[in-house]
Structure 1
């Protein structure tokens, strides 16, 4: 277990540590019915994710900026016997929402299986302590429970990230767990039955369709909630600004004044290239091969913030974000470079108030 001292020193604390005060305030004020073993009621969990103000004046910061109904459906799903699948393009906060849901429901977001092409069955079911196994044979002492097995036994929320990256035969290990709420252990002639409070949140990337598609049998065990990209530029600017501020404080970067204008410009560039049209709808654009997600915009601005703080004059400027934007846009050196140069010359060069941005981008592009 991570101690509170360790959490304070952590580069990226788990949600239950980073927002412990908010979770405690919500728990103290929460008098609504809650499912067994849940730390908060569904109403309080929705407030935790969406933000609000409690009766005692405590401000709950929003963790997710988007349609309220999406959060309500996600929370309600976890209160049923169906698992939750968060689906969306890269950068739509699937992992972020998953972590905060688990933190609010169970007080522990660390029961996590990270999906990759090499994820084995043992990561979802259980493994063995081979020294104990060789010395004494199969036994409970030799068994190493997976995060999913632990969450079943303790009535908590497990998380599986990038489900469609996991090989199909390993994915299907979840079918019995999600349908029968049981994990057989044939080597011991035993099983682990899930206790009340157990559920599972999985995330999957829209761009991974065709990699390891879910079988129809497994898909039926999930209620799928699609997380969209931010609906408006202002919503995306708000998301980027808030996350950059949180990351900057974690990295102990100096606070930089007047950064929102540059953030707004980064977001506009990403949205225009992503949508294939300028914000006024007058000019159609070619889109690059990358996703240009909100998460990438956060990364670009965070990198720019570090440049401005350590090598600049303390103000986030075009030159601080230009290289990051170039790296995000030009993933395919041949095709994407043409798209980027065309955007610079036909849109950025002619835009009022963007001369500094044009010069900075031309400088790093040459």
Structure 2
């Protein structure tokens, strides 16, 4: 990570963002990345929105609030793709929050696209989504704020030259959005290191003297944090930290058709990146997504009860299974993938938390699937033996 400039100045944007500029100009650097950041993937749309953006912009923002909303939820008439499948009012509330002095906390079940939403918003507001802290049990305060180049520290003592900025310091100095993923996975003392940053908007560096020891946040700085509801109680946030965030819940995709279209689009893109030229079979995808929805909700589409596995059966997991089904079918047999591949790939998704989950899945295939009509449902039922190992 590059060194942030002096307080009150905008420092370099770092190696990842530097590669973005090159990738946008030639296309070759981006093509070599497995998953470029949002500002690279959608560089043309962001450029078009900036060129056509006449709305009022909050201080420090790259786009107006209306243009940022269009970037996330899409505008078919203007050629802006829909990138987040969810309630547009959630996106509006999130953007309004970031235009204030409160942080944004996105909570919800795993796999509901909280990280994607935070990435898209950061790209629209700040032009970069790469100032990110990945929370975990081993996350330390210096990974959030700053560290030191120890060779320079020993040779010269504490100085701006020996300072190595972490995402929070860089975001404050440059006036950008910082993303904090899985914040509740961090120890409480690490979480609470954000208190003064979010309230006073200043980061103190005790090792430096005078003005060098204080970094004041430029306009445009704010924090988007995410947390999974399944992690509730692991490291419960303090009341003081909660008060500095507005909480928004990201819910699963509400209906089958929307989720099916989303899985088809996302899996299709992943398959193209994997060298698979065959498009996913729509009937196989319908079997897959319907099975996921039933196991997730604990109820079939006919209204009968289903044993719910303890594993997360999210839309993101459905995309991963659809991707694996396509890869398995193409590279093993030269075809798009079948319902039998769905069973084989489901095993590793369901059997994560408890061996009993595989038994629940098998009972679902044996008891519910035979009632369905269609060759792919029959193939799903016939392949249930693949769960035995």
Which category of TM-score, normalised to the shorter sequence, fits these structures?
over 0.9
Tell me if structure 2 keeps the 8 A contact 1:326–1:365.
Answer: no
> Deviation at 1:333?
5.1
Q: What is residue 3 of structure 2 aligned with on the other side?
A: none
Q: What is residue 118 of structure 1 aligned with on the other side?
A: 138
Q: Which runs of 5+ in 1 are unaligned?
A: none
Q: What is residue 263 of structure 1 aligned with on the other side?
A: 285
2:380 counterpart of 1:357:
yes
2:51 counterpart of 1:31:
no
Q: What is residue 138 of structure 1 aligned with on the other side?
A: 158
2:71 counterpart of 1:48:
yes
Q: What is residue 13 of structure 2 aligned with on the other side?
A: none
Q: Which runs of 5+ in 2 are unaligned?
A: 1-17
Match among 194, 197, 208 for residue 188 of structure 1: 208
Tell me if structure 2 keeps the 8 A contact 1:51–1:60.
Answer: yes
Q: What is residue 84 of structure 1 aligned with on the other side?
A: 104
Within-5 A mapping of 1:1-366: 1-2=18-19, 3-4=22-23, 5-54=28-77, 58-189=78-209, 190-256=213-279, 259-281=281-303, 283-332=304-353, 334-353=355-374, 354-365=377-388
RMSD of the TM alignment (CA)?
A: 1.4
CA deviations on 1:77-127 (whole Å, 9 max, x unpaired) are 111111111111100001111111111111111101111110000011111
For 1:188 and 1:150, the matched residues in 2 are separated by 17
> Deviation at 1:173?
0.6
CA deviations on 1:17-61 (whole Å, 9 max, x unpaired) are 01111111111221111112312111111111111134xxx4111
Tell me if structure 1 keeps the 8 A contact 2:362–2:387.
Answer: no
Structure 1 counterpart SS, 2:147: strand
Structure 2 counterpart SS, 1:224: strand
> Deviation at 1:252?
3.2
> Deviation at 1:306?
0.9
TM-score by length of 1: 0.95
For 1:345 and 1:175, the matched residues in 2 are separated by 53
For 1:342 and 1:255, the matched residues in 2 are separated by 32
